[in-house]
Amino acid sequence: MGLSLSNIASTYEFLKQPKKAIASYLEAIRLQSLIGDLRVKAIAMSNLASICIEIKKYDTAFILIQQSLKIREQLGNPDNIALSHLILSQYYKNINDSQKSFESALKAYEFAAKYKTTEIVKRCAEALYKISEERGDKASAFTYFKEFI
């Protein structure tokens, strides 16, 4: 049931209906807490954090990212751990902390590369490219650009 609610929330998010998406993610998190499915709970928390970043609810986003990351580290799934660091990078970017944004994206990149999760490595490289470009670091931007094209 919680996974279904999370899927419904994703649909609302796609349809640009953040209030309905938030309500569905919160219900999915509540149900997963009762059921004990930590994997789906962490996914819903990460997705909700992304919405919170979009609507500038940064304090809530940060808490959700930290909680999701903690669960994902307990579960030991390298893909999802890397994704949590990538969401954390987006959080830092949105609060105008380019150094922490870069560090979080780099941590995600290194983690994904270590476990050879190619698709996530590309997403991280793209984030690092964009951050490097914004910071005026053309050499780093070019290095990461080559990895995601």
Identity of the amino acid at 46: S
Q: Residue 8, Cβ neighbours under 10 Å: how many? A: 17
Nearest by Cα to 14 from 54, 43, 56, 63: 54
Confidence at 149, pLDDT banded by 50, 70, 90 = confident
Place of tokens 């951050």: 131
pLDDT tens digits, residue range 27-74? 989 998 999 999 999 999 999 999 999 999 999 999 999 999 999 999
Q: What percent of the chain has pLDDT over 70?
A: 97
Sequence-distant (6+) residues with CB within 8 A of 20 are: 9, 12
Q: Is the pLDDT of residue 145 over 70?
A: yes
Residue 3 pLDDT class (50, 70, 90 cuts)? low
The string of pLDDT tens digits covering residues 94-106 is 999 999 999 999 9
Task: Tell me the mean pLDDT in the region 86-90.
Answer: 97
pTM of the model as a whole: 0.88
- Give Rg (Cα) of the chain: 16
Instruction: Determine the Cα angle at 103 with ends 112 and 119, to 5°.
Output: 25
Q: Which backbone phi and psi does 18 adopt, to 5 degrees?
A: -60, -35
More confident residue, 22 or 95: 95
pLDDT score of 12: 75
Whether pLDDT at 6 is above 80: no
